[in-house]
Amino acid sequence: MREFLLSEAPLTLALSPNGERGSIMNPPTLLQSAAAQLGVALSDEQAATLTRLLDELDDWNQRMNLTAIRERPAQITKHLLDSLSIHRFLRGTRIADVGTGAGFPGLPLALVNPDKHFTLIDSVAKKLRFVAHAAEAMGLNNVTTLHARAEAIDLKRLNARRFDCVVARAVGPLAMLIKTSGHLLMGGGRLLAMKGKRPDEELKALPSGWKVAEIHILIIPGLDEERHLVELWRSHDRA
């Protein structure tokens, strides 16, 4: 099992609490600088599109509770940059985001990976209505939404292929994630679990037939919190 440190020098975000222009640079430019530390080169248009995503989130959040994160600096770090931090670890062209909520990490990842197709899955219909609206507003044609609980998805009945990569953020213990979402993954694929602190106890409880491929230490610019990405795959799979 290997651990990888993603970034050595986190960037200090210079935004006022309400997300207006800070003392150093405006939000889109700031976002570009921070994303570059994660290995993601955002164009001016992409940075503006991600900022527009947060604007749409703010607008919809006034009518329905999509997220408790409402201040712009926190939205940039905990929604956008946190999502982009796993960009380099995606595999294949068919990606599933299980428990996508308001579209994170799926929407930011879809924007910077136009060659991949993303299926954003959630059991809460109102959240997927926002995700579909946001994907359209962002001009994304590589995003599909699926209203379902992951464990209830029957790909054969849907006449759909399994996914090259399944990502999940804050959806419970690793063993539960495998139980509910492991069947969505094709042979040789990776299950990417986004975690806060290193989940050592969860790692000890992995079900038979699954193993850890790698654990990555993620440093999110502007976020003084632990982040880890756990890559899981089936025991018989080979790189």
pLDDT at 25: 57
pLDDT at 17: 41
Q: What is the pLDDT of residues 38-70, one digit of tens each?
A: 999 999 999 999 999 999 999 999 999 999 999
Q: Could you tell me the sign of the dihedral formed by the alpha carbons of 161, 163, 169, 172, in that order?
A: positive
Q: What are phi and psi of 76, to 5 degrees?
A: -65, -45
Contact 61, 70 (CB under 8 A): yes
H or E element, residue 165: strand 163-169
Contact 116, 142 (CB under 8 A): yes
The neighbour count for residue 137, using CB atoms within 10 Å, is 13
Contact 104, 78 (CB under 8 A): no
Residue stretches of the chain with pLDDT short of 70 = 1-25, 238-239
| DSSP assigned state of 92 | S
Which amino acid makes up residue 221?
P
pLDDT at 58: 96
pLDDT at 236: 78
Q: Give the span between the Cα atoms of 114 and 103, in whole angstroms.
A: 16
* pTM for the model: 0.89
pLDDT at 170: 82
The neighbour count for residue 113, using CB atoms within 10 Å, is 16
| DSSP assigned state of 18 | T
pLDDT at 27: 72
- Residues ≥6 apart with Cβ < 8 Å to 120: 97, 100, 103, 106, 107, 128, 131, 143, 144, 145, 146
What's the token pair of residue 190?
Answer: 């990776």
The neighbour count for residue 57, using CB atoms within 10 Å, is 21
* Extended strands (E) in the chain: 3-5, 94-98, 117-122, 143-147, 163-169, 185-195, 210-218, 227-234
pLDDT at 18: 40
- What's the CATH fold of domain 3-234? Rossmann fold (3.40.50)
| DSSP assigned state of 76 | I
